[in-house]
Chain A
Amino acid sequence: MKNKSKFLYLSPVVIYAIVLILFPILYILFLSFQTNDNYGGIIYSLTLNNYIKIFDIVYLRVLFKSASIAFITTVICILISYPFCIFISEKKPNVQKILITLVMVPFLTNSLIRTYGWIVLLRKEGVFNSILQALNICDGPISFMYNNMGVFIGLVYTLLPFMILPVYSSVSKIDKKVLEASEDLGANAYHTFTKVILPQTLPGIFNGSLMVFIPAIGMFFIADLLGGGKIMLVGNLIKNQFLVSRNWPFGAAISIFLIVITFLLVKLYKKTGGNMDDLGGF
């Protein structure tokens, strides 16, 4: 009886984890050691060539550029979210609740639709340029998109809620009495911040950074639409290997490389005291 219900509870999740997570990843690991036959097919072999190819200067440049873009995006998100969450946490509890819900609203509408909204605003004949020209502020149109700036705006915009929510949850956990105690004991605002507020909110910042940095590497559609295809992220590289140049083994090798990097980052996150459940519980 007991074993029967144990089986009913657990068999779906065990089958799911093996068939839809473990097997696909083992399969691309297998693919990453094969050879591409130039016609989109696979020649069965055992080779490290795909991994060696990642360290080709052309691809290293993409990796480096993509990592820097993801890193800068993460930093911008922290710089916006941190003061934002602190200022919000000074409001009354029900105002806080409403403001945080308002942060969620745009995030619940489709991310492509919102990206399209940015195109309408940013393009050469777009809203911003029309306003600037109507006011005679500048002569020619300014290129807000189809360059790095467009990609940054798109990435920061799409990923900002993933930073705001964990940072807010760590900021709102700070006990106001501790802040008062710190003040009473003679700490100035700077010391209260570095010794009391910052240490308590670091887990939230780490959590948010992980939730921003990792997706930022893979968001090929933002680079496609707002970077005008000129900016290549690792996501675009993988997409092209699978759908355009049809070199699946190489695409699989880059994916395995990304998985390894992700695991290293998660290890670091856990070492700094991060809780795994916080990563998916927004």
Chain B
Amino acid sequence: MQRHKHLKNLFIFLVFLFLYLPIITLIVFSFNTSPLNILFEGFTLEWYGKLFSNTTLLDALKNTIIVSVVSTAVSTFIGTLAAIGLQKYNFIGKNFINKLLYVPVVIPEIVLGISLLSVYTLLKLNLGLGTLIVSHIAFSIPFVIISVRTVINSTNLQIEEAAHDLGANDFKTLTNVIIPEIMPGIISGATLAFTLSLDDVIISYFTAGPGSNTLPLQIYAMIKTGITPDVNALTTLMILVIMTVLIISSLIQVRKMKKEYVR
């Protein structure tokens, strides 16, 4: 097993190189004095300064944050209630609803995108932030339900009965017993919904309207007409934020694993 250790490590390294190469390139070029993104000519922070006066880009960033935050909040709320409800209650057509919930997970995004666009057109709704948020909620809810359900299946919901027996009402049981118990599932569902929304190109492409460009759509348009180096600067800042959050969360997990190991 140990024989090919170096070869195996080399393979792992090459895969990571492939995964990180485009990102590293953009980070390096965000400090490049030449705006052409071809060769590195010298170090500058000019693009970071320019970024804060690029209103089109900042507006797109603002829209992206609004859409992601609102759609994550709504889909986490509906998805969590649904996961608990679908576990607790039986009703006619439950099987059918369960099947429908997998549709946004498996069908190609473009199909969901054009069907929502068709319905908005049928209802004569103006495309904009509103339709964008509704569309993002539409593809996020199933992912939240799946995340929460995974945790519900692995926890013991008998404590719910115990809470009832001890005199807690439905609402108290939900907020004081069930929610804390399934919190890990809610958090991972919300994180998933947020990242999917932040990154979405295809569904947004069909359901956004004039003035509601998100960051991915803005970058799509810019790649076609000519991208400016302040996009590299924005990318670098976003990667920095994501890296920090991830490093902190994995440090916490590694520490937890070590503690459990010691025990």
Contacts and interface: CB of A to CB of B under 8 A. Distances in A.
Nearest to B4: A87
B169 to A, nearest CB: 9
A9 B257 CA distance: 35
A255 B114 contact: yes
The dominant DSSP class at the A interface is: helix
Which of A14, A109, A214, A263 has most chain B Cβ within 10 Å?
Answer: A109
Contact of B110 (A110, A115, A218): A218
Interface stretch (A22-30, A47-55, A56-64, A193-201): A22-30
Contacts, number: 242
Interface residues of A, number: 88
B143 interface: yes
Given A87-B8, A87-B11, A127-B25, A28 B150 contact: no
A13 B82 contact: yes
Given A13-B81, A94-B257, 10 more contacts: A6-B89, A9-B84, A10-B89, A13-B145, A21-B104, A25-B103, A220-B110, A242-B117, A252-B114, A280-B147
B220 to A, nearest CB: 6
Contacts of B166: none
Contacts of A160: 18-19
A79 B137 CA distance: 35
A8 interface: yes
A73 B103 CA distance: 23
Nearest to A100: B250
Contacts of B9: 87
A206 interface: no
A127 B108 CA distance: 33
B240 to A, nearest CB: 10
Contact of B223 (A31, A87, A112): A112
B235 A109 contact: yes
Contacts of A18: 100
Contacts of A186: none
Nearest to A276: B102
A10 B85 contact: yes
Contacts of A90: 1, 8
Interface in B83-131: 84-86, 88-89, 91, 97, 100-112, 114-119, 122
Given A24-B115, A24-B116, A102 B146 contact: no
Contacts of B11: 83-84, 87
A214 B111 CA distance: 11
Interface string A250-261: 011001001100
Given A12-B78, A277-B150, A248 B118 contact: yes
Contacts of A20: 116, 134, 137-138
Given A84-B11, A112-B201, A280-B105, A157 B82 contact: no
B168 interface: no
A229 to B, nearest CB: 10
Nearest to B173: A5
A214 B195 CA distance: 20
A80 interface: yes
Interface string A101-144: 11111101111111111111100011100100000000000000
Contact of B219 (A12, A112, A121, A126): A112
B15 A218 contact: no
B262 interface: no
A68 interface: no
B109 A31 contact: no
Which of B85, B149, B150, B243 has most chain A Cβ within 10 Å?
Answer: B85
25 contacts: A1-B170, A6-B88, A9-B88, A9-B89, A10-B85, A13-B97, A21-B100, A90-B8, A94-B257, A105-B242, A108-B246, A109-B239, A110-B198, A116-B22, A160-B19, A218-B109, A235-B108, A238-B110, A242-B206, A248-B118, A252-B114, A252-B118, A279-B102, A279-B106, A281-B147
Given A31-B118, A98-B254, A238-B114, A280 B108 contact: no
A221 B118 contact: no
A65 interface: no
Contacts of B26: 113, 116-117, 120
B21 interface: yes
Nearest to A251: B114
A157 B18 contact: yes
Interface in A264-282: 266, 276-277, 279-282
Contacts of B8: 83, 87, 90
Contacts of B246: 101, 104-105, 108
B25 to A, nearest CB: 5
